[in-house]
Structure 1
Amino acid sequence: MGNFNKIIRHIKTPIILSRKVVHRLPNGLIKRKVLNFPSHKKNSRMLDEIISNNKGKVIYIFPSPSCPWGYMFQRPQQIARTLAEGGDIVIYLTDTSYPYKPDWSVRGFFEVEPRIYLFNNGTDNFIHNLAGKDVVVWQYWPHQLKYVQCLKEKYPVIHIYDVIDDITTFDGYNTIKEDYTQSLNTADIVLATSKVILNNVSKIRQDVISIPNGVQVKDFNKPLSEINALSTMNNNYKLVVGYYGAIAEWFDFELLNKLSGDFPEIAFIMVGEIYKEVENEVGNFEAVSNVFFLKRINYEFIPSLLTYYDVAIIPFVINDITLSTSPVKVFEYLAGGKEVVSTDLPEVRSIDESLVACSHLEFKEKLELALKRKNDLSRKAYLKSIAEQHTWEQRVSRVTHEIEKRRLERNYENRSF
């Protein structure tokens, strides 16, 4: 299975390859014609129709460049979904650099979910016809500052800068530090996902607000689907310990190797996007019979995936990136009623210290304990109750309250006496 998955990761279908070639065409009329983008006038009419069907609603813009909607479903998408479920309009910008659906297929406005519109105009993704509208732009990458500035020059928007990760997490470019600092200084509202980020940001913005990640609990109470490959795993191994998410340089491969040797009767299933930088590390496990790396699956199948896990783990090394992270998956693990064992991440420790191990030996011991109580119904109820204290609705409501305060302040300042 390991060899098969390794091969699959490198196969690109002719369709995907052709999409990547077309994406490299320079922005302009030719590219717009080839990809059949609607005219700017048609986009304006579509926007007018969206607004007229949702009168009086706030318009939230998630700017370019963006985390693709169809990629790992993380904080930006979850917040967008929560805002839309609250009744507001979300315009989530995308582009053809991600050659998979739904992002690749977006031409103009595309309603991917109720009140969530993916948008791509084939050039700059700038949205016109927003004069006089109630607009909030939700920036979450330093890279998005240029787009936000263009929007702010034309419209009196409320600008949120959501500091979601340590700056070293991002692909670097010449002005990333300057863009990061300017974003902090110019945003109306600044959010921090972790205590480490909060402390760092507060040196520049003392009014920064702590908004950790969360979970959509209701997603883990829906009917489940069978995942055939994992059904086979359950038949071949006594127990399953699992992980899902990015498999990147912060993944503790040494810990995983030790665990696989200590527990040969357990299948260790790692599901997710394997970053190019660690492909060799992953390849080293091809000779390890009870470790399986499987391709990323869509968010909608995550609750089903968890049903195959006896215990869920977060095996991260401790560095600047992981010290600053608020892992979405820990809340989702808990919502699925799963025992969790994590390396010593501050944000996990603040949820429940019993979930955290400070060494490889302690990780092994806590994994043994978690496996013993995996069927304890009272324990499952407790774990789910933790998740219910950390919902996306609660997180977003704190931000919308701050937005309303800024809106009232602006109205007061603009009053004529």
Structure 2
Amino acid sequence: MLTGETIVCAAAADWHGMWARAQQLMTVYARHNNRVLYIDPPITLLSPIKNPELRRRLSARVDQVGENIFVYRPPVMLPFGNMRRWVNRLNQQRLGRALIKELRKLGWSPTLFWTYLPNSVDLLPVFGGDVPVCYDCADEHTAFPGLIDVKTVSTMERELFSRADASLVTARELWERKKACAPGLTLIPNGAEVKHFGQAMEETLPVAREVAELPGPVVGYVGAVSSWLDQESLAALAGAHPDWSIVLIGPVDTDVSLLRGYKNIYLPGKKDYRELPRYLKAFNVCVIPFKLNELTVNVNPVKLYEYLAAGKPVVSTALPEVREFAPLVGIAENTAQFVELVTEAVKNDSKAEAARRVQVARENSWEARAEAAARKLAACRKPR
């Protein structure tokens, strides 16, 4: 395990947003006597226009969020950095100057740069070539909707792979796509904070009041309600079982008029990570209803491991990374089968099956993932 490091982490998600791989791994390392400066992804001058809530992020700041963990909200950047390389270079130079100032205030000298962003290749000069680099590739960045140029992002990613001391991916499909860029590429899937989500099985834990009185059975989803969500399958499930409740926990950033047409589909929004076990406890079945596209086939869903840690039956669309968990997890090839498998899961759950799920989750903990990544970094680290 890493210990005694000062890690600068360029993340793809806000620390206070949906908790996923970056926050989890950095939290594990902080517990093992490493200092972490977690950099929230910068916003651009256009961001508050598209999302007014981002106006609160216009000022740069550093906050301590836990023992050994500080979060840096960087200054506002120019738009189109993922479309024009020269813009990205200007942005990363600006970020680099600001980052150096904050590190000096903290009295820290980085010993490891850990990044999730291809565009951070242009930030590397700030470390002067003396700091080892780990690129943890968790997504197919060219498949995200928005203002990107595929060629520009692909070029930056290839350069980052070539300059990284250690390169990781979260999914086998990603490994197949990226292995030519990084011969030593290592597959380290996502995981779960098993103890946290295991609270959902404790009799003494109260169910979240918001879902406690919903008519059951309750089918639940935790994650972003985005364009990749298979709303048609959820609508079919709601129509087939109008007496059931379907609860989608997470921020909504796409048109959900189809879902709002069903009285038994509830969208209570994003909930605090600490409260999620109280919601999961109310669910009879948990689902991963993703459309199959270039983005999702490269995803190793964190929610899979969290659902299992909570002991819940899981039904998913046919994502490549979920298939290997069959038959423990129901894999639906189409909408009709999705409805059928959820219906069966509600009827056939048992304590023995719940115990099997928790055991699989224990084998896929974030602590184990952090240890595997640390071993890879130790093996790849170049003499300095």
Question: What TM-score results when the alignment is normalised by the length of structure 1?
Answer: 0.76
1:258 paired residue number? 236
1:58 paired residue number? 5
Q: 1:255 to 1:112 in 2, by over 3 A?
A: same
1:207 pairs with 2:174: no
Counterpart AA for 2:163 = T
Output the CA distance in 2 between the equivalents of 1:342 and 1:252: 11
1:190 paired residue number? 167
Q: What are the within-5 Å matches in structure 2 for residues 396-411 of structure 1?
A: 396-407=370-381, 409-410=382-383
1:357 aligned residue (315, 324, 332): 332
Using the aligned pairs only, state the percent identity: 25
Residues 253-282 of structure 1 show CA distances to partners (whole Å, capped at 9, x for unaligned) of 11111111111111111111111xx22xx1
Confirm or deny: 8 A CA contact 1:151 1:157 kept in the other structure.
no
Output the CA distance in 2 between the equivalents of 1:227 and 1:325: 29
Q: What are the within-5 Å matches in structure 2 for residues 166-245 of structure 1?
A: 166-167=140-141, 168-169=143-144, 171-174=146-149, 175-222=152-199, 224-233=205-214, 237-245=215-223
Output the CA distance in 2 between the equivalents of 1:170 and 1:185: 26
Q: 1:328 to 1:177 in 2, by over 3 A?
A: same
Output the CA distance in 2 between the equivalents of 1:106 and 1:256: 40
1:80 aligned residue (20, 26, 32): 26
* Secondary structure at 1:161 match in 2: strand
Confirm or deny: 8 A CA contact 1:243 1:271 kept in the other structure.
yes
* Secondary structure at 2:237 match in 1: helix
Output the CA distance in 2 between the equivalents of 1:368 and 1:316: 18
Output the CA distance in 1 between the equivalents of 2:308 and 2:345: 13
Residues 222-272 of structure 1 show CA distances to partners (whole Å, capped at 9, x for unaligned) of 474542221121xxx131001010111111111111111111111111111
Q: How many Å apart are 1:199 and its aligned residue?
A: 0.4
Confirm or deny: 8 A CA contact 1:57 1:134 kept in the other structure.
no
* Secondary structure at 1:165 match in 2: coil
Q: 1:323 to 1:94 in 2, by over 3 A?
A: closer
Confirm or deny: 8 A CA contact 1:225 1:301 kept in the other structure.
no
Residues 172-210 of structure 1 show CA distances to partners (whole Å, capped at 9, x for unaligned) of 434222211211221111111100000011122121000
Output the CA distance in 1 between the equivalents of 2:59 and 2:372: 31
Q: How many Å apart are 1:332 and its aligned residue?
A: 0.3
1:112 aligned residue (65, 90, 96): 65
Confirm or deny: 8 A CA contact 1:95 1:104 kept in the other structure.
no
* Secondary structure at 2:99 match in 1: coil
Residues 294-338 of structure 1 show CA distances to partners (whole Å, capped at 9, x for unaligned) of 211121111111001010011111111111100000100000000
2:342 paired residue number? 367
Q: What are the within-5 Å matches in structure 2 for residues 113-132 of structure 1?
A: 113-120=66-73, 122=75, 124=95, 125-127=98-100, 128-129=103-104
Q: How many Å apart are 1:133 and its aligned residue?
A: 4.8
Counterpart AA for 1:358 = E
Q: 1:132 to 1:83 in 2, by over 3 A?
A: closer
Residues 339-393 of structure 1 show CA distances to partners (whole Å, capped at 9, x for unaligned) of 000010111111234421212222222112211123x111110110110110111
Output the CA distance in 2 between the equivalents of 1:170 and 1:181: 20
Confirm or deny: 8 A CA contact 1:60 1:137 kept in the other structure.
yes
Counterpart AA for 1:63 = A
Output the CA distance in 2 between the equivalents of 1:291 and 1:202: 41
Confirm or deny: 8 A CA contact 2:233 2:339 kept in the other structure.
no
1:146 pairs with 2:122: yes
Counterpart AA for 2:235 = N
Q: 1:187 to 1:96 in 2, by over 3 A?
A: closer
Q: How many Å apart are 1:110 and its aligned residue?
A: 2.5
Confirm or deny: 8 A CA contact 1:323 1:346 kept in the other structure.
yes
Q: How many Å apart are 1:155 and its aligned residue?
A: 5.0
| Aligned residue-pair number | 343
- Structure whose alpha-carbon radius of gyration is higher: 1
Q: 1:243 to 1:183 in 2, by over 3 A?
A: same
Output the CA distance in 1 between the equivalents of 2:273 and 2:64: 18
1:52 paired residue number? none
1:137 pairs with 2:110: no
Q: How many Å apart are 1:145 and its aligned residue?
A: 2.4
Larger RCO of the pair (alpha carbons < 8 Å, separation 6+): 2
Confirm or deny: 8 A CA contact 2:207 2:281 kept in the other structure.
no
Output the CA distance in 2 between the equivalents of 1:58 and 1:406: 16
Confirm or deny: 8 A CA contact 1:139 1:145 kept in the other structure.
no
Confirm or deny: 8 A CA contact 2:207 2:282 kept in the other structure.
no
Counterpart AA for 2:72 = F
1:306 aligned residue (268, 280, 288): 280
Greater Cα shift, 308-317 or 90-99: 90-99
